[in-house]
Amino acid sequence: MIAARYARRALLALLLSALAAGAFAQPKQAPKEYAPEVGQSGKDVVWVPTPQSLVDKMLEMAKVTPSDYVIDLGSGDGRTVITAAKRGTRAHGIEYNPDMVALSKRAAAKEGVSGKATFAKADLFESDFSQATVITMFLLPDINLKLRPKILDLKPGTRIVSNSFTMGEWTADQTVNATEGCTSYCTAYLWIVPAKAEGSWRLPQGELDLTQTFQMLSGTLTTGGATAKISNAKMSGDRIRFSVGGAQYTGRVNGGSMEGTVKSSDGTRKWSATRDGKV
């Protein structure tokens, strides 16, 4: 009787041991891959993906080429960066959510563009994006306004493209709507960072006084003792244009100097000006 009892116990232990071994031998399930949800909270904004048709339109507006360097502020699932990279452009995404960064890296690898599409977990307000030639973003108006001073200090000619939200009183240089494959958030705005041209400029024949509000200019040109208001005056990156009388001035601003051509009824001639009085 005692021997039978010990035998049953031994058999039970053996069965339990076999069951445990079988349980441990079961393959472990792979962790579920992260999948973002539209409307999920982020540090500064909730996540809503930019429709692919608008991504394409934004890059077209900015005239992105392989020689550009695109930085996407708040890159989300990485689609803008990856789309730019597939065009042969170096592109970088700045995103605060580390899961989104990892997701974007996996997507870039899947699309075969990891060499051109990079991502970093970082805070927009602590990041350096001064090397970009194109900035893309889908943020909120108040975030755009907080970033605006930093954006205006970028190299003249840098193109800024925003999905749906503006830069306050800084009027966009171009506005485009995506009409195909887009049902919401279908408007893109483009700004070109203007050179800083405000101030007094000395010309060989007189003085040009400019007042600047973002890319728009106003002011006067004094020549031969006569002063006239300029019109149709605007900056586009480092390029300046204005009219006075029947003459149309075009040129480029380079720090403390500018030069170009002026067309009038007398023909076309060169012109130049400096801020320091040295002509």
Model pLDDT for residues 253-277, shown as the tens digit of each residue: 999 999 999 999 999 999 999 997 5
Question: What letter represents residue 269's amino acid?
Answer: R
**Please, where are the H alpha helices in the chain?**
2-25, 52-61, 79-86, 98-110, 141-152
**If pLDDT is split at 50, 70 and 90, which confidence band does 41 have?**
confident
**If pLDDT is split at 50, 70 and 90, which confidence band does 19 have?**
low
Q: What is the pLDDT of residue 44?
A: 72
**If pLDDT is split at 50, 70 and 90, which confidence band does 101 have?**
very high
CB neighbourhood size of 270 (10 A)? 9
Residue percentage of the chain with pLDDT more than 90:
77
Planar angle of CA 88, 102, 104, nearest 5 degrees: 30
Say whether pLDDT at 279 is over 50.
Answer: no
Which CATH number do you get for residue 143?
Answer: 3.40.50.150
Mean pLDDT of 204-229: 95
Do 216 and 239 belong together in one domain?
A: yes
What is the distance between the alpha carbons of residues 118 and 116, in angstroms, rounded to a whole number?
6
176 vs 4, higher pLDDT? 176
Say whether pLDDT at 156 is over 70.
Answer: yes
Q: What does the pLDDT look like over 45-76, one tens digit per residue?
A: 777 889 999 999 999 999 999 999 999 999 99
Picking from 192, 225, 252, the residue at the C-terminal end of a domain is 192
Q: Which of 13-17, 96-100, 264-268 has the lowest mean pLDDT?
A: 13-17
What is the distance between the alpha carbons of residues 121 and 100, in angstroms, rounded to a whole number?
9
Q: What is the pLDDT of residue 29?
A: 61
Picking from 170, 192, 214, the residue at the C-terminal end of a domain is 192
What is the distance between the alpha carbons of residues 43 and 8, in angstroms, rounded to a whole number?
62
**Total residues belonging to the chain:** 279
Do 72 and 185 belong together in one domain?
A: yes
Q: What is the pLDDT of residue 140?
A: 94
Q: What is the pLDDT of residue 36?
A: 81
Range of the domain at 248: 199-274
**If pLDDT is split at 50, 70 and 90, which confidence band does 131 have?**
very high
Do 75 and 95 belong together in one domain?
A: yes
Phi first, then psi: give them for residue 226, nearest 5 degrees: -110, 140
Q: Minimal CA–CA distance to 161: which of 54, 20, 234?
A: 54
Beta bridge partners of 163: 188
